[in-house]
Chains A and B, each alone.
Chain A
Amino acid sequence: MERREALDRLTNLVASFTGLVGKRLPDDVTAKLKELSEEESMPMAKMIYEAMEKNQNQAFELDRPSCQDTGLIQMFVRVGSKFPYIDELSNLLTEAVQKATKEAPLRHNSVETFDEYNTGTNTGTKSPWLYWDIIPESDKLELDVYMAGGGCSLPGQGKTLMPGEGYEGVVKFVLDVMTSYGLNACPPLLVGVGIGTSIDSAAYMAKRALMRPVGSHNENPLAAQLETDMTNAIDSIGLGPQGLRGSKSVMGVNIENSARHPSVISVAVNVGCWSHRRGTIVFNSDLSYEMITHKGVEL
């Protein structure tokens, strides 16, 4: 494959994948929503779950974005140092978003800060927002594409606590966000919590946590237990779908953590709405690929 041809192919694939992420939920989210819907006993909540399922089916049949808010695209890029297109990747991802915006089509969400105009392309200054990790000795590209909608970005908050407030302060912070801003963020939410030393790292980890599958667990057994305990605690509040009450509240709580300075404990929350449009795709150096989150679908 000529280099130009390969770059075009990769651009097209990332654009198609981005479009797909907007139209079809990842397998783990679909399965969890089905489970929650089946467990639900309150009539209003059941009706809302049925509306959600109908919408996802219509989105697939009509090939349209399932939610109008296709977000401001964020990508977590894990690129092998030996991936042949590493140099062109940054520009290529931007081009892919522009292409997806036209083809999917995606709503135009990228508004330039201060200048306050909509670019009409979903790209702009530092948009798409990209997180980079370089994987040594690898020739693959792993990409998480996430459509961060306005509604589920709104509850995003962080706080640096004094250690005296302890983890008690951490869990209180998260639950307070759930019963205030969380109500409007299209529950059942996937709750991402970052716990670490400073507000920036906590916020990053809270978002990173949303890239993990629903039902997965932190590798630290204490953190894993806390994920379960917090899920149960928030569920016991009974927020239900759309925050209009129900038997459960969330799809789950994913916690990411780092070591911290002894004088501080930072916590941040970032949530994904029920329509958690996140996808993971892995490219090999020959541009063959595997979609981790969307099995049995073709690009």
Chain B
Amino acid sequence: MKKILSTPISNEDLKDIKIGDVIYLNGYIVTCRDVAHRRLIEYGRELPVDLNGGAIFHAGPIVKKVEGEEDKFEMISVGPTTSMRMEKFEKEFIEKTGVKIIVGKGGMGPNTEEGCRDHKAIHCVFPAGCAVSAATTVEEIEEAHWTDLGMPETLWVCRVKEFGPLIVSIDAEGNNIFEQNKVVFNERKEKALEDLYTKVRFIK
């Protein structure tokens, strides 16, 4: 059965969710990436949206203006971007905003783990490159903020239905699936290299 969460998210909602679980999201998710993180953390500017109990999407979408309507946009294509770029800001971001679900791609690091553990939040991976699938779960773009930043960096407030699959990569205990995998990958890499070294003695 599909595990579907709805915003606003409570600590209780995240209690039994573990890394490697797959969840879906109903409610609202706001695209939020590099510059918005910088503005909040480094420049101390207040975010124009309330993210308490909410969800953000590390994503820069393609949106299209709806012809003949004032400030109406259609979501064409929206997939995750590299979450690691936001690593240096994310712990403080969670602290300051009360955001509960962070969606992106690839892993994040120790700061985010700490933020997730201390303030009960999770990081999830939406399969990257699957941007049309994601866009079709956006029922409506309800608001757009900081449009001065251009299409990728604007905060697009999206109402979504069964947005996912979201693969939990950091849970609210701070467990990190990518860090666990990395240990395995590095062991295997060392072994693979030992083997490769014997095959590349081209310099005589």
Contacts and interface: CB of A to CB of B under 8 A. Distances in A.
Q: Are A and B genuine complex partners? A: yes
Interface string A94-126: 000000000001111101000001101000000
B49 to A, nearest CB: 20
Interface string B175-192: 001100110111011011
A211 B79 CA distance: 24
Given A105-B64, A120-B150, A237-B192, A184 B132 contact: no
Interface stretch (B5-13, B91-99, B193-201): B193-201
Residue among B59, B125, B130 with the highest chain A CB neighbour number at 10 A: B130
Interface in A230-248: 230, 233-234, 236-239, 241-245
Contacts of A156: none
Contacts of A229: 196, 199-200
Interface string B142-184: 0000000111100000000000010101000000011001101
Interface in B9-43: 20, 22
A233 B201 contact: no
A191 interface: no
B60 interface: yes
Given A65-B76, A105-B64, A236 B128 contact: no
A26 to B, nearest CB: 14
A175 B189 contact: yes
B127 A48 contact: yes
Interface in A180-195: 183-186
A29 B28 CA distance: 34
Interface in B105-152: 105-107, 125, 127-133, 135-136, 149-152
B52 interface: no
Contact of B60 (A107, A171, A274): A107
A205 B49 CA distance: 45
A245 B130 CA distance: 18
Interface residues of A, number: 63
Contacts of B167: 44, 48, 242, 244
A243 B181 contact: yes
Given A66-B132, A69-B79, 19 more contacts: A51-B130, A52-B127, A54-B130, A58-B133, A58-B136, A66-B77, A105-B62, A151-B82, A151-B128, A166-B203, A183-B106, A184-B83, A185-B82, A186-B128, A226-B200, A230-B196, A233-B196, A245-B184, A275-B129
29 contacts: A47-B22, A48-B127, A54-B130, A55-B127, A55-B131, A62-B132, A62-B136, A64-B62, A65-B76, A65-B77, A65-B131, A65-B132, A66-B129, A67-B131, A69-B81, A106-B62, A107-B61, A107-B62, A108-B151, A108-B152, A118-B149, A167-B201, A176-B189, A179-B182, A179-B186, A185-B106, A233-B192, A238-B184, A243-B107
Interface of A: 44, 47-48, 51-52, 54-55, 58-59, 62, 64-70, 105-109, 111, 117-118, 120, 150-151, 154, 163, 166-168, 170-172, 175-176, 178-179, 183-186, 222, 225-226, 229-230, 233-234, 236-239, 241-245, 273-275
